[in-house]
């Protein structure tokens, strides 16, 4: 498997940090915008999209701030990749932003960014953040 390229994105989200954290850290929240269904057993999240199943281990969580997952398939292939959701609050304006950190093959980064833009659009629609 080829080396993955890290990329980061930032999205302004008109939401309280508690609502946003629930949407990025719980199976019920994630299943409203990220995947069709999400199940959890201990620290293993199972994401289901159109019948396709992928599993990720929760490898980091800071209450109210961030969650970090690693796809099992990547871990099994020796990759040190992950995807992370981090909530950032501007000290001056109190604007809330969601930071996404992810990895993709270098020739697929733009496609991965477009996918995240669509996912975050779904998140904003779900929480009424427009």
**Domains, in order of start, for the chain:** 4-127 (3.30.530.20)
Q: Phi/psi of residue 47, each to 5°?
A: -105, 135
Per-residue pLDDT reduced to its tens digit, 44-70:
999 999 989 999 999 999 999 999 999
For residue range 63-122, list pLDDT tens digits in order.
999 999 999 998 888 888 999 999 999 999 999 999 999 999 999 999 999 999 999 999
**What is the pTM for the complete model shown?**
0.92
Burial class of 58 by CB neighbour count within 10 A (0 to 12, 13 to 18, 19+): middle
Please check whether residue 5 is in contact with residue 105, taking contact to mean a CB–CB distance below 8 angstroms.
Answer: yes
Q: What sign for the dihedral angle of Cα 83, 104, 72, 56? A: positive
Q: Determine the 3-state secondary structure of 72 from DSSP.
A: helix
- Cα–Cα distance, 53 to 66 (Å, whole number): 24
Q: Crossing angle for the helix pair 109-127 and 17-25, nearest 10 degrees?
A: 120
């Amino acid at each position: 498997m080829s080396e993955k390229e890290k990329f980061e994105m930032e999205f302004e989200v008109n939401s309280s940090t508690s609502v946003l954290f629930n949407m990025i850290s719980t199976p019920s929240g994630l299943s409203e915008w990220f995947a069709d269904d999400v199940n959890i057993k201990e620290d293993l999240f199972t994401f289901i999209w159109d019948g396709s199943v992928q599993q990720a281990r929760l490898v980091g969580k800071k209450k109210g701030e961030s969650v970090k997952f690693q796809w099992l398939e990547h871990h099994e292939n020796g990759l040190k990749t992950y995807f992370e959701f981090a909530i950032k609050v501007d000290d001056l304006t109190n604007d809330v932003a969601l930071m996404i950190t992810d990895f993709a093959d270098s020739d697929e980064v733009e496609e991965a960014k477009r996918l995240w833009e669509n996912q975050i659009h779904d998140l904003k629609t779900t929480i009424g953040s427009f």
